Amino acid sequence: MECVEFNDFNKIDMRVGRILEVEDFPTAKKPAYKLKIDFGEYGVKKSSAQITKLYKKEELVGREVIAVTNFRPKQVADFISEVLVLGVETERGVVLLSPDREVPLGKDVS
């Protein structure tokens, strides 16, 4: 694993958001959902997330997640993903990272 300097890590902007909407993403190469996530004063952003194995659409709405919000937008099939929702890949599927208590939307992760 490559080591990075703490200043490099500080360049990554991670914030807490709440999932507002979840849609199927049939044109994605791998099974995924299209998410709309509210980051409070930072606005609503879109993300593509390969989390279909462990999560149903209806259980994701209202859930707080942590996302990297300062990557350049990425084209995924016919969709522009604006943020990267963070998770841990396991044998059963991706497990989302989220705060264990409710926090203000848009709050930066430090």
Residues contacting 107, CB < 8 A, separation 6+: 15, 16, 40
Q: Answer yes or no: is pLDDT of 50 > 80.
A: yes
The stretch 49-72 carries a mean pLDDT of 97
Residues contacting 78, CB < 8 A, separation 6+: 27
pLDDT for position 13: 96
pLDDT for position 19: 98
pLDDT for position 86: 98
pLDDT for position 32: 97
Q: Answer yes or no: is pLDDT of 110 > 80.
A: no
Widest pairwise Cα distance in the chain:
40
pLDDT for position 1: 86
pLDDT for position 59: 97
Are the C-beta atoms of 77 and 88 separated by less than 8 Å? no
Q: Write the single-letter amino acid at 100.
A: D
Report d(CA 75, CA 96) in Å as an integer.
21
Report d(CA 31, CA 49) in Å as an integer.
9
Question: Could you tell me the domains of the chain?
Answer: 12-96 (2.40.50.140)
pLDDT digits (tens, 9 = 90+) for 15-37: 999 999 999 999 999 999 999 99
